[in-house]
């Protein structure tokens, strides 16, 4: 890969989450720093800590985690690796998704659960305030407004600085915004899965950060001779790098959060910040 040496996440520019938390536009999703099935500690804990250190060295200053990753082990690892956090580093976490003993993912959006989860995350991360706290997933058994109300209370108590939501649609975003300022939305979105297009546009109109997870998925688009492959070849880049560059060009509010447990792959992701796609290339990729 030509796009590999000494690149910094800062090359993609910055975005101010909530109007005041300035982050470089390639973040890091820490979910991968767990055992298989997002359960327990990673096999190589020291290696995982190295990846976190390296991310900061490369200018990544937005790290996304959740209490359900591990569960709890991911937040503990981040604290162990990075505490005390540099003042320009934003560690965002989430609550409302829980795991049972069989490793299943369940939802718990009850206000009392969200408040307890937030306080437990504060302790694990070692902070007096979580700068960005996100509802991980709406709970079908709890009125959405009640879950969001709990986030609003956490914010008014100063335990949370900015509120985010995740795995939502435009209607849920609008409902949440009537209750509390929403500073970020995190949904699955990438060059091959664009169901959230209208959500991205809604976020852009309102200056809300959009955090696409699984940002590297390229599916069939990456096959030899395909549009993505051709653009990648022209830039001496990988299909994944072009997929990240596409996200950065798609909207100025997008902050991709690719996750990896490898330092080399991290460097490759960060290098995508320096790929400049022309209008014709964006047109080609948009039509792909």
Q: Looking at the domain assignment, is residue 158 inside a domain?
A: yes
Q: Looking at the domain assignment, is residue 170 inside a domain?
A: yes
Share of the chain above pLDDT 70, in %: 98
Q: pLDDT tens digit string along 236-252?
A: 999 999 999 999 999 99
Q: Looking at the domain assignment, is residue 227 inside a domain?
A: no
Q: What is the pLDDT of residue 4?
A: 55
Report whether pLDDT(3) > 60.
no
At residue 88 the predicted structure's pLDDT band, cuts being 50, 70 and 90, is very high
Question: If you average pLDDT over every residue of the chain, what do you get?
Answer: 96
Report whether pLDDT(1) > 60.
no
Report d(CA 179, CA 164) in Å as an integer: 12
Q: pLDDT tens digit string along 21-36?
A: 999 999 999 999 999 9
Q: Looking at the domain assignment, is residue 202 inside a domain?
A: yes
CATH number at residue 73: 3.20.20.100
Active-site residue among 28, 69, 144, 213?
A: 69
Q: Looking at the domain assignment, is residue 55 inside a domain?
A: yes
State the residue for tokens 């956090």.
85
83 catalytic, yes or no?
A: no
Q: pLDDT tens digit string along 98-126?
A: 999 999 999 999 999 999 999 999 999 99
At residue 6 the predicted structure's pLDDT band, cuts being 50, 70 and 90, is confident
The domain of 110 spans 22-219+253-261
Q: Looking at the domain assignment, is residue 182 inside a domain?
A: yes
Q: Looking at the domain assignment, is residue 193 inside a domain?
A: yes
Measured in whole angstroms, how far is the alpha carbon of residue 9 from the centre of its chain?
14
Q: Looking at the domain assignment, is residue 203 inside a domain?
A: yes
Phi-psi category of 173—alpha, beta or left, where left has phi over 0 and alpha has psi -120 to 50?
alpha
Q: State both tokens at 193.
A: 């899965």
Choose among 206, 213, 212, 147: nearest CA to 181: 206
DSSP string, 181-218: -EEEEEEE--SS--TTHHHHHHHHHHT-EEEEESTT--
The residue-averaged pLDDT of 175-201 equals 98
Report whether pLDDT(54) > 60.
yes
At residue 288 the predicted structure's pLDDT band, cuts being 50, 70 and 90, is confident
Q: pLDDT tens digit string along 259-286?
A: 999 999 999 999 999 999 999 999 999 9
At residue 5 the predicted structure's pLDDT band, cuts being 50, 70 and 90, is low
Q: What is the pLDDT of residue 203?
A: 98
Q: What is the pLDDT of residue 234?
A: 96
How many domains, in total, are found in the chain?
1
Report whether pLDDT(2) > 50.
no
- The dihedral sign for the CA sequence 82, 161, 172, 247: negative
């Amino acid at each position: 890969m030509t796009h590999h040496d000494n690149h910094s996440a800062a090359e993609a520019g910055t975005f101010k989450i909530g109007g005041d938390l300035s982050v470089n536009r390639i973040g890091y999703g820490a979910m991968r720093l767990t055992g298989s099935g997002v359960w327990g500690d990673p096999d190589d804990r020291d290696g995982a800590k190295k990846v976190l250190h390296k991310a900061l060295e490369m200018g990544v200053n937005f790290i996304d985690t959740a209490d359900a990753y591990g569960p709890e082990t991911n937040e503990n690892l981040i604290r162990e690796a990075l505490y005390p956090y540099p003042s320009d580093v934003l560690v965002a976490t989430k609550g409302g998704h829980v795991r049972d003993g069989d490793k299943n993912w369940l939802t718990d959006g009850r206000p009392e659960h969200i408040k307890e989860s937030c306080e437990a995350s504060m302790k694990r991360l070692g902070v007096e305030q979580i700068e960005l706290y996100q509802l991980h997933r709406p709970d079908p058994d709890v009125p959405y407004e009640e879950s969001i109300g709990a986030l609003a209370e956490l914010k008014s108590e100063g335990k949370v600085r900015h509120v985010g939501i995740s795995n939502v649609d435009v209607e849920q975003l609008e409902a949440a915004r009537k209750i509390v300022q929403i500073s970020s939305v995190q949904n699955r979105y990438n060059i091959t899965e664009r169901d959230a297009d209208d959500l991205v546009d809604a976020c852009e109109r309102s200056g809300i950060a959009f955090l696409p997870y699984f940002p590297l998925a390229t599916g069939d688009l990456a096959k030899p001779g395909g549009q993505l492959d051709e653009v990648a070849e022209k830039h001496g880049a990988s299909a994944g790098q072009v997929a990240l560059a596409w996200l950065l060009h798609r909207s100025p509010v997008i902050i991709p959060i690719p996750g990896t447990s490898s330092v080399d792959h991290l460097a490759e992701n960060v290098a995508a910040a320096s790929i400049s796609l022309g209008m014709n290339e964006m047109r080609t990729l948009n039509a792909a």
